[in-house]
Amino acid sequence: LNGPSLQLRRQIDRAIIIAFRKRNQKGEIAMFSTLDMHILEILCEDARVTPREMAVMTGSDEAQVNAALDSLRAAGVLVGYQTLINWERTEREFVQAVIEVNVIPQREKGFDAIAQRIVQYDEVKSLYLMSGAYDLMVLCEARTLKELASFVHSRLSTIEGVTGTSTHFMLKTYKYGGMVFAGGKGDRRQAVMP
């Protein structure tokens, strides 16, 4: 796109607001443009893409992309960038587990008060409120099985309001963050048929 077509696209991007509504850190509703959403999609695929490259990919200029990135950070939508590492191919030793946690929600605070206590622990890598058989799903990591077991029985399960836990140790990662870790490109093992 160039000339009048590019100008029209930019006018449309400014004028159209997608029906995606999110709350920023102050609890106010924030509206996101097509440029904002396109930038977020690009970053989900590869966080190494530079603002200059995003400008080319979105048909915008670099100043618009930088302004959009600043706005997304200020709204609490863009909270960080992470590198995806397959630790199983390194010498690093660690144990990961998914822990199902049942809790009694607190009056007027629901699950949030207990969740805020749980996220403070270094062993906790992710925490989700779930529907179904349990309330919270905690993804944990520690150096050894003993350290992880100690975390569960002496700290997590003793939090007031936690009524039960069920721990599932992760044995191997096949896919994470949309990326195939095992059995994907470069895997030259012969398929075995039963």
**What count of other Cβ atoms lies within 10 Å of the Cβ of residue 135?**
23
Residue among 23, 21, 40, 39 nearest 31 (CA): 21
Strand order of the sheet with strand 136-142? Answer: 124-129, 136-142, 95-103, 162-169
pLDDT in tens, the chain (194 residues): 444 555 554 444 444 333 334 444 555 555 678 888 889 888 888 888 999 999 999 999 999 999 999 988 888 888 888 787 777 888 888 999 999 999 999 888 889 999 999 999 999 999 999 999 999 999 999 999 999 999 999 999 999 999 999 999 998 888 887 778 876 554 444 444 54
The whole-number pLDDT of residue 78 equals: 86
Helix axis angle for 51-58 and 62-74, nearest 10°, is: 110
**Computed from CA positions of residues 24, 29, 31, 32, in that sequence, does the dihedral angle turn out positive or negative?**
positive
SS3 letters for the chain? CCHHHHHHHHHHHHHCEEEEEEECCCCCEEEEEHHHHHHHHHHHHCCCCCHHHHHHHHCCCHHHHHHHHHHHHHCCCCCCCCCCCCHHHCCCCCEEEEEEEEECCECCCECHHHHHHHCCCCCEEEEEECCCCCCEEEEEEECCHHHHHHHHHHHHCCCCCEEEEEEEECCCCCEECCEECCCCCCCCCCCCCC
The whole-number pLDDT of residue 183 equals: 60
- How far is Cα 41 from Cα 68, in angstroms, rounded to an integer? 13
The whole-number pLDDT of residue 18 equals: 35
Under 8 Å between Cβ of 126 and 138: yes
